Amino acid sequence: MDTNIRKYLQEIGRKGGKASRRTLDPDTARRMVAVREARRAYRRFHAQCFWSSPPDLEIGMDDVEWVARQLMKHGGREAWLIGKALCP
């Protein structure tokens, strides 16, 4: 790769990294992780626990507790453990 191109790409990457940095308080970060994990569990266990809901349902902050309850109620051991981990 040409050195000028390499330098250009390095500079772009450096600027993007600086622009995307943000500070989150620990509570907000935990909630964001919980939403991400709830979305992942919803997709993974849709046929087993969420069959009556649309497969493309957008899981948000308010849905994490519902996903956890459904996993613990209708899923197997693995789903129950994920649901338990989603509970605060």
Tens-digit pLDDT profile for residues 56-66: 999 999 999 99
Task: For the chain, give the percent of residues with pLDDT over 70.
Answer: 89
- Cα atoms found within 13 Å of the Cα of residue 7, Cβ hemisphere only: 3
Question: Is the separation of the CB atoms in 72 and 83 below 8 Å?
Answer: yes
**Predicted TM-score of the model (pTM):** 0.73
The Cα–Cα gap between 42 and 67 comes to 7
Task: Report pLDDT for 7.
Answer: 83
**Predicted pLDDT at 17:** 59
Q: What is the pLDDT of residue 19?
A: 56
Cβ-count burial 34-59 (b if 16+ within 10 Å, e if not): bbebbbebbebbeeebbeeeeeeeeb
Of 49 and 22, which is predicted with more confidence?
A: 49
Give the pLDDT band (50/70/90) at residue 15: low
Q: Give residue limits of the domains in the chain.
A: 25-86
Q: What is the dihedral sign for C-alpha 79, 45, 65, 87?
A: positive
pLDDT at residue 16, as a whole number: 64
